Structure 1
Amino acid sequence: MENIIDLLNWRYAAKRMTGEKVVDEKINTILEAAHLAPSGIGLQPYEIIVISDPDIKKQILPIAMDQSVVTESSHLLVFAVWDEYTKERIDHVFDHLILKRHSESASYERQRHFAKQFFGNMSIEENFHHAAKQANIALERTV
């Protein structure tokens, strides 16, 4: 088994991009890996926005602390987390799961109720911080 320190030393932040375009197949694999990442109650409270338009990336540059990797990258992935876990968002996720998995809705009702109760007792700030942590799990899985 590799030493944990060796594994941590391998990891680094990209300082510059090569200008090489990442093929769509790889982008799709990254998105699928993020989609399959675990999250609290399976809600995946974030959207991943893929930006490849150079003009949009230039507009983002100032709010990304002028990091050149934003405009040098072929694709910029923005993890946009929910600002709040609403009953409607929770229902949408469970309705989608039931439809996608061809499941009986009764099998998800207990989990749906728990999610609404659990997140309904949190403040909006707590909701946001929780969602951000869930997005980070997906981000870590894609790297």
Structure 2
Amino acid sequence: MQLVDNLKWRYATKKYDASKKVSEKDINYIKEAVQLTASSYGLQPFKVLEIKDPALKEALKPLSWNQSQITDASHLFVFCNKIKVTDEDVDGMMQLRAKTNNIPIEKISGYGEFVKEKMKEKSDVEMFHWTAKQAYMALSTALIACAELQIDATPMEGFDAEDYNIKLGLKEKGLNASALLAVGYRYADNIAQNNKKVRKPISSLFELLY
């Protein structure tokens, strides 16, 4: 039941204490949780950028609706989706799978070809939205990991993705900025932390079909 208690504790922090920093041990734990997140076909078609440089965070703030979380949070993560999944991406994952499980690549080559065909079935728009969903799954895992550690985190869509893409040179890397995650510690006098969490009741979120 600890997970539910931690999720009740967390909230989208609006004001961070800039003097408090998250330890590298805890950051590495969050990174490992993201690494282990569920991903369709195991492809992980996303990359997470860790922004620590204060000057870069200041430069990104105007591109993020001037929200203070960008500069005041201990860490800023940019979750990026791959614009396109290539045959090389699939081959790389198959090779990693074979190496990790110590099996001949030939044993899973058929599955690799199947995944390649499924990727080719997607239009450019479908591919873009599919990889973005994968990035969001990783974002959700990061939020849960932060809650477990009692570290504050704010998922953010309030930013200009195209400006981020240009500033960080993402398009040249085949990436697109999907979402941001500010991580740190809440400011002590932030009144919002005492508000009760408002969520729809389970009875309206779930429907039992017979």
Structures share a fold, TM > 0.5?
A: yes
Aligned amino acid, residue 40 of structure 2:
G
Deviations, residues 78-114 of structure 1 (Å, cap 9, x unaligned): 1111001111222222223323433321232222112
Distance 2:79 2:99 in 1: 25
C-alpha contact 1:51 1:77 (8 A) present in aligned 2: yes
Aligned to 1:12: 11
C-alpha contact 1:41 1:111 (8 A) present in aligned 2: no
Paired residue secondary structure (1:47): strand
Aligned amino acid, residue 13 of structure 1:
A
Aligned to 2:85: 85
Q: Which consecutive segments of 4 or more residues in structure 1 shift more than 4 A?
A: 6-11
TM-score when normalising by structure 2: 0.61
How many angstroms does 1:73 deviate by? 1.4
- Structure number with greater Rg is 2
Aligned to 1:72: 72
Write out aligned runs for 1:53-72 (5 A). 53-72=53-72
Write out aligned runs for 1:1-143 (5 A). 10-19=9-18, 20-143=20-143
Aligned to 2:150: none
How many angstroms does 1:118 deviate by? 0.6
Greater strand percent: which structure? 2
Unaligned 5+ segments in structure 2 are 144-210
Unaligned 5+ segments in structure 1 are none
TM-score when normalising by structure 1: 0.87
Aligned amino acid, residue 17 of structure 2:
T
Distance 1:87 1:62 in 2: 37
Distance 1:61 1:135 in 2: 22
C-alpha contact 1:45 1:135 (8 A) present in aligned 2: yes
| Aligned Cα root-mean-square deviation (Å) | 2.1
Distance 1:16 1:22 in 2: 15
* CA pair 14-107 structure 1, distance change in 2 beyond 3 A: farther
How many angstroms does 1:65 deviate by? 2.0
- Number of residue pairs aligned between Structure 1 and Structure 2: 141
